[in-house]
Amino acid sequence: MDNYRIDQDQGMEFGIYTLGDHLPNPNTGERISAQERLQQIIEFAKLADQAGIDFFSVGESHQEYFATQAHAVVLSAIAQATENIKISSSSSIISTSDPVRVYENFSTLDLISNGRAEIIAGRASRVGLFDLLGYDIRDYEALYEEKFELLLKLNETEGPVNWAGEFRKPLKHAELLPQPKEGRLPIWRAVGGTPASAMKAGHRGVPMMMAMLGGPVSVFKRQIEAYREAAQENGHDPAQLPVAAAGFFHAADSLQDAQREMYPHINEGMKLTNGRGFPKEAFAQAEDIRSVINIGSPEAIVEKILYQHEQFGHQRYIGQMDFGGVPFKQLMRNIDLIGEKILPEIKKHTRKK
């Protein structure tokens, strides 16, 4: 997996992702300024880097209650504030972006960060940006597939690029500058809740980032199996294609404390951004080791992540712990618990003997 910069000898990678939401704290009603939210995200990444966390990613949504629309700019600030942590989008909405500009931005980011940049390319679960950026929602699937293929072509082609498609003018002997440090970037496909989406990633032979808001591990295991079977059938070696699993995360002294602290943020955040809350009974299932929601004591979280690793065989876990106006002090406490109690155990049990 050299092309994707993951060293399995060091154990499964642990990462953090943020959607860059700018939401009020449901417990106090306070909403910090967009400037303070952006500064906190940069500081969050800096603390994660100091704690030895492997990966940090920032998303874009282009609608109310989000602050990281220019996520590549935010990642550039993070690149300057950190030294070792890998940095990525989570995800870049390639459907409504020009792949040439995305590639230029992230190649530049890769050079600024000394070779730490990645791209996770997604389709958008929140679709307001189609009108904002001048695209037709009826072209949702076609836009994504064409632009994702172009992004991969830009990454895979040495020298000038020639290309023609439906949604942008052709490229004729186009030369993209600058190039990333190693000549290519790790480009992942973001996958939601269906095996069909996972199979498309497998068909193309690209690494998959799988979003898991809730539910049993068994459901997502089937998606990973479908992904690897599709890769195999299309001549790709699944052993060379990393998988990342991403979902809600919060560590506290006990499961009860973790649920009490985190549920209001997730529930109210989902109401404001998706129009519906998060079912309390689904959230309560985090107590079960078979649930993908990694919320509880550090010891319980380690047990759950190791169980998921046993079932998935994945190479990276990415936790979302700042959604819904979470106070920065709570995030700092989580970073401490990850660095002191969670990360060492995960590395110990997943690194190659």
User: Mean pLDDT over residues 268-296, rounded?
Assistant: 92
How far apart are the C-alpha atoms of 239 and 315, rounded to whole Å? Answer: 10
- Could you tell me which of 121, 67, 66 has the C-alpha nearest to residue 96? 121
User: Mean pLDDT over residues 58-84, rounded?
Assistant: 96
Calculate the alpha carbon distances from 43 to 77, 105, 115, 289 in Å.
10, 22, 21, 32
Strands 243-251 and 316-320: parallel
Confidence check: pLDDT of 216 > 90: yes
CA 75 to chain centre: 13
φ, ψ of residue 29 to 5 degrees: the values are: 80, 0
Which percentage of the chain shows pLDDT scores above 70? Answer: 98
What residue type is assigned to position 266 of the chain?
I
User: Mean pLDDT over residues 226-235, rounded?
Assistant: 97
Structural domain total, the chain: 1
DSSP structure class, residue 33: -
- Could you tell me which of 267, 264, 140, 257 has the C-alpha nearest to residue 214? 267
Confidence check: pLDDT of 16 > 90: yes
Structural domain of 109: 2-350
User: Mean pLDDT over residues 294-306, rounded?
Assistant: 97
Which percentage of the chain shows pLDDT scores above 90? Answer: 84
Confidence of residue 352 (pLDDT cuts 50, 70, 90): confident
φ, ψ of residue 25 to 5 degrees: the values are: -70, 120
Strands 55-58 and 86-89: parallel
CATH number for the domain that contains residue 253: 3.20.20.30
SS (H, E, C) 181-238: CCCCCCEEEEECCCHHHHHHHHHHCCCEEEEECCCEHHHHHHHHHHHHHHHHHCCCCH
**Cis amide linkage into residue 197, ω under 30° from 0:** no
Residue 171 makes CB contacts below 8 A (sequence gap 6+) with: 100, 161, 162, 163, 164
User: Mean pLDDT over residues 113-127, rounded?
Assistant: 89
pLDDT digits (tens, 9 = 90+) for 123-174: 876 677 777 788 888 988 999 999 999 999 999 999 999 999 999 999 999 9
pLDDT digits (tens, 9 = 90+) for 188-201: 999 987 889 999 99
Q: What ranges in 71-139 are assigned the alpha helix state H?
A: 71-81, 99-112, 129-133
**Cis amide linkage into residue 178, ω under 30° from 0:** yes
φ, ψ of residue 215 to 5 degrees: the values are: 115, 180
Confidence check: pLDDT of 1 > 70: no
* Structural contact between residues 69 and 61, judged by C-beta atoms closer than 8 angstroms: yes
